[in-house]
Structure 1
Amino acid sequence: MKFTRKAAPAAVAALALTLTACAQSDRDTGDDAASGGDVKDTITFGAAGAPELFDPFYATDGETFRVTRQMMEGLVGIKPGTAEIEPELATSWEPSADGKEWTFKLREGVKFWDGEPFNAEAVCYNFERMFDQNEVAAGGPAGYWADVMGSFKSDAANALYQSCAASDDMTAVVKISRSTSKFPTALSLDSFSMQSPKALKEGDANNVTKQGEGFGYPAYSKNPVGTGPYKLDKYDEANKTVTLVRNDDYWGDKAKTAKLVFKIIPDEATRRQELEAGSIDGYDLPNPADWGGLKSSGNNVLVRPAFNILYMGLNPEKNPKLKDLKVRQALYYALNRDQLVKTQLPEGATVATQFMPDTVSGYNKGLQPYAYDVEKAKSLLKEAGAEGMTLQFAYPSEVSRPYMPNPQKIYEALRADLEAVGIKVTVVTAPWNGGYLDTVDNGGYDAWLLGWTGDYDSPDNFIGTFFANLKANDFHTSATSYGAQLSKDLTDADAIVDETERAAAYEKINQQIMEQDLPGLAISHSPPALVVSNKVKDLVASPLTAETFASVTVSK
């Protein structure tokens, strides 16, 4: 994902999906497991950045979500180690025949940390709170709601969300304007966590203001109230630590460790040094070049399943030669992606055949990768009258992404491939947050490197994000002969209620994108990792980077 935010198929059933909660585990849930003689009472994890706030609804970055995920819960959760949804605060859900009304049966016996009951009234209060945003929040930090629901109460006619009603104390009925593949899967996003209505009211939670180039948040954002296994103890900005403590009144299995500390260490090399010194127990996104050394030092490198895509974007509006399919195909045949995956990406990376990973419903298993074929690339360029064409090709600096661990090295390999078929590459670079993303959004490059990590399991979250909005997409498909039809096809597919029929429609679209349209070049899928000491037990790596720590222990 380009926006710093952050399930295998099982998202939404055709006409009726009901998932029932598993029986509560019989495992030891008392303090003995957390405070016994063989384990520490504190987990310390190295975070790359500080959280801006603790209200997940207004959060937009992975470091904030890493913290709030331990404290907050949603109606729908994520099965550990996968991208599949599972019951969380809702024990089951069922859609109407047209997919526009969803009935959620809620978990009994749950309370917010302030003692307030979790019930259908609380669920509907949360939905209405999220829906009713002021102009400042709607145009800024409430971005996840806008991405999923389309608009807010001020523009209710164009919103996906329509209403929420409590049919009884433990049943909430949510109405949406159309059937969509992303509902209810998108409710697994941290931004849609349930929070205490009493605390939200008392903390004036929606009072977001503009402050210079950023935003000002109400007091509630520093002291939220959720239902999760950990709750906020303190944020020590001077010592750069966030401390969470176990919620002893949690409805499920209690956290195995009494305290969870996130130590903010921006430099990756310093995080590694602190891990090896024993002052932290783990950290995220170790450099793939360090994986071997970390393992040999006795640490565990936990590799996440790849739920991402690296691609080379193309802008036919900026460079008209890219409007010719033969030119776009020539660029693809020119790229030695097998070699790129072997030399520049971590173990487990694969060559992409389409713009989504194979765990997402709608993935077309019949598609084969474009072959590396220098002569075919040259021939297609000649047929298109584009021999010796100039291509402005950009890459980002000052960044490492899960799908692109070293942008410059990846870029240099692809640039060499393009030059080998006679293309004159104009090299351009800019800092990730210092002009690169803005220039991509504003159509300033002919071609560029970028990628996407999925937020949840839905084809709409991948190819829908890229191509469904004809008027606003980085690939500028509005300048092509196929863009309008592709946009319509994606919108129509997303609205199909029957899951099998919808998956088949997306498979067809994936074939169309790769064989007929080729708006950009899907490069690879790359598994990111996190690393922990060998004293850490039961931390499960998540393809969504959605790890939870309640089950984790650290031996002394």
Structure 2
Amino acid sequence: MQAGRRRAVIAAGVIAALTIGAAGCAKSDRDSGTDDNKASGGTFIFAGAGDPKNFDPIFNDDGESFRPIRQLYDTLVTHKPGTADLTGGLAESWENDPTGKIWTFKLRSGVKFHDGTALDATAVCANFDRWFNMKGEAAQSQMIYYTDIFGGFAGSPDALYDNCKASDASTAVLTLKKYKGAFPGAFALTAFSIASPAALKQYDGDTVTQNGDSFSYSAFANEHPTGTGAFTFGGWNKATGEITLNRNADYWGDKAKVDKMIIKVIKDENTRKQELRAGTVQAIDFPAPADRKALAAEGYKVLDRPAFNILYLGINQKNNPKLKDLRVRQAIAYALNRAQLVQTKGPGGSAVADEFLPNTVLGYAPDVQKYEYDVAKAKQLLADAGATGLTLNFYYPTEVSRPYMPNPQEIFTVLANDLQAAGIKVNGVPRPWNGGFKDDVQQFGKQDLHMLGWTGDYNDPGNFVGTFFGRGKVEFGDQAMTDMFDAIGKADATVDQTAKKAAFEQVNRDLASKWLPAVPIWHAPPAVVTTKNVVGLVASPLTAEQFNTVSLTK
């Protein structure tokens, strides 16, 4: 059956696909008047905000890595441009059995990887088997999406994956050990892009080594990424910060209109803006709130994405025993003047977040406990908990801008000042995004507080609260909160949608009042800005733009 009209075998609306494309499509210049089958030629240069980690999808979880990966690879299921609605990718159709445990994918014919090998069901199953059988340092590295979605690797009692079989060349049958509400949406995750098994073998794709606090990846990940995408890999010049992607003339779908795309890493926000004005780049991401109006007034195209994200202040309960006390975590929440932060530092249209998912997602509870700015209450809670004079190490990222965090330094400064006004001493620890901040926070848990966030990958509450708090994580040091893990797990495993909605609403109430592993800060609509001659760019609420649609006018 066609993916767009697939039968919801378990229950009507197993996945409530989010249709928030009106704003994105309306401002995306899709009516460029160009011939969809004709290349416009030229080189499209996009200013990235930070270095990618590598180009092997399964080892990544951040937008700067995923931006080039999305151009190089395809997923089984994808999203309609400008929306979070699901549609066929490498699989032209899919269906599930009544238990939700068996998923059958009908693959497109004639698709080839960049190395010339054929995409078939055996290749698809080889990818699933590869992820499941990761061992040693590869399994210890940044495979966050896999462990969040599939529970664990071979031998783990929490592993969700059972097997994948090729019933014929064009039919892959995936069997899970139990139903999970993430599917089918999770099949569209960039981390689960399908790579060439031949190239993975040739370039030692599973070779990962740990060096102190960081990991090193294979020749496949750094030099020979091989997918089926609209662009092929042309090289990564780390000295100049340029990633080159070449038009794939043999692409199975709509072929890229430009001959080449370069992602030029420019870590400083002002420099990105200057290069846009100089015409040395044609697009920048995550402009500062103050720049959006100015750039629009100058004639640049500002493409707004609907806010489908969350910025939060993470609290690690492991290193400082005072943070295990709920009253201390509540004091931190009351100390933050989030309304003022939104007004002074947030992109236009930003809103204070009271829970960890947007209000368009199933399970949002309007009646959660709210933490209005109250310095006196914060101080009283600290005194009651015997935490007066508390000192906390606050980690924040540098050399990056994120959709939910356009200027980390400025946001950190405001939050740190709020905490210090409530009597909490803050030691700021700036660390580079990749090779520093993410490893320190997510792998080693060195921090007491950290700023981090999330842009939703698909419209399901498990993609937000389940990803953050569905199991013990180093970054929160909350391995003892088994009641939280159990409640989220039960909600995610609930097949009936009415019951699932009620279960996640209660989870969100308890996250605010009983557990508070972090403090939600804001929801912020990020933007993409382009020069006048860029047409066809479709802004994605998931910040998951595909650039094969982009043309350059004269």
TM range (shorter): 0.7 to 0.9
Aligned-partner SS, 2:152? coil
Moved more, 452-461 or 490-499: 452-461
| Residue 466 of structure 1: aligned partner | 468
* Structure 1 residues 344-389: Cα deviation after superposition (integer angstroms, max 9, x where no partner): 211111011211122333222444743345566567667x466955
What is the rounded CA distance, in whole Å, between the counterparts of 2:439 and 2:404 in structure 1?
Answer: 20
What is the rounded CA distance, in whole Å, between the counterparts of 1:148 and 1:221 in structure 2?
Answer: 25
Classify 1:301/1:436 alpha carbon distance in 2 versus 1 (closer, same or farther; 3 Å): same
What is the rounded CA distance, in whole Å, between the counterparts of 1:210 and 1:537 in structure 2?
Answer: 42
Moved more, 337-346 or 235-244: 235-244
Contact between 1:393 and 1:428, CA under 8 Å: does it hold in 2?
A: yes
2:399 aligned with 1:396, yes or no? no
* Structure 1 residues 207-262: Cα deviation after superposition (integer angstroms, max 9, x where no partner): 51537554251458523433222223454566653333333332222222232222
Alignment of 1:155-170 (within 5 A): 155=155, 158-170=158-170
Moved more, 294-303 or 228-237: 228-237
Classify 1:237/1:398 alpha carbon distance in 2 versus 1 (closer, same or farther; 3 Å): closer
| Residue 260 of structure 2: aligned partner | 259
Moved more, 431-440 or 271-280: 431-440
Cα offset, 1:51, TM superposition? 4.6
The amino acid that maps onto 1:460 is G
2:510 aligned with 1:512, yes or no? yes
| Residue 292 of structure 1: aligned partner | 293
Moved more, 360-369 or 276-285: 360-369
The amino acid that maps onto 1:193 is S
Classify 1:205/1:144 alpha carbon distance in 2 versus 1 (closer, same or farther; 3 Å): farther
TM-score (norm 1): 0.82
Classify 1:242/1:327 alpha carbon distance in 2 versus 1 (closer, same or farther; 3 Å): closer
Moved more, 326-335 or 86-95: 326-335
Alignment of 1:13-92 (within 5 A): 14-15=10-11, 33-35=38-40, 40-51=41-52, 53-92=54-93
Alignment of 1:348-387 (within 5 A): 348-367=349-368, 369-373=370-374, 384=384
* Structure 1 residues 272-322: Cα deviation after superposition (integer angstroms, max 9, x where no partner): 222212122112223333223322332122232223222233455655555
2:172 aligned with 1:175, yes or no? no
Moved more, 453-462 or 121-130: 453-462
Q: Count matched residues.
A: 529
| Residue 552 of structure 2: aligned partner | 554
RMSD of the alignment, in Å? 3.6
Classify 1:16/1:231 alpha carbon distance in 2 versus 1 (closer, same or farther; 3 Å): farther
What is the rounded CA distance, in whole Å, between the counterparts of 1:525 and 1:230 in structure 2?
Answer: 32
Alignment of 1:219-298 (within 5 A): 222-235=223-236, 240-298=241-299
TM-score (norm 2): 0.83
| Residue 428 of structure 1: aligned partner | 427
The amino acid that maps onto 1:33 is K
Instruction: Tell which structure's C-alpha radius of gyration is larger.
Output: 1
Classify 1:171/1:324 alpha carbon distance in 2 versus 1 (closer, same or farther; 3 Å): same
The amino acid that maps onto 1:245 is N
Classify 1:318/1:142 alpha carbon distance in 2 versus 1 (closer, same or farther; 3 Å): closer
Classify 1:178/1:114 alpha carbon distance in 2 versus 1 (closer, same or farther; 3 Å): same
The sequence identity of aligned pairs, in percent, is: 45
What is the rounded CA distance, in whole Å, between the counterparts of 1:11 and 1:312 in structure 2?
Answer: 40
Where do 5+ consecutive residues of structure 2 fail to align? 1-5, 16-29
* Structure 1 residues 429-449: Cα deviation after superposition (integer angstroms, max 9, x where no partner): 112348665665556555444
The amino acid that maps onto 2:455 is T
Aligned-partner SS, 2:549? coil
The amino acid that maps onto 1:525 is H
Cα offset, 1:157, TM superposition? 5.0
What is the rounded CA distance, in whole Å, between the counterparts of 1:309 and 1:389 in structure 2?
Answer: 30
Where do 5+ consecutive residues of structure 1 fail to align? 1-9, 20-24
What is the rounded CA distance, in whole Å, between the counterparts of 2:7 and 2:463 in structure 1?
Answer: 12
Classify 1:255/1:533 alpha carbon distance in 2 versus 1 (closer, same or farther; 3 Å): same
| Residue 139 of structure 2: aligned partner | 138
Cα offset, 1:327, TM superposition? 5.1
Cα offset, 1:99, TM superposition? 1.9
Cα offset, 1:165, TM superposition? 1.0
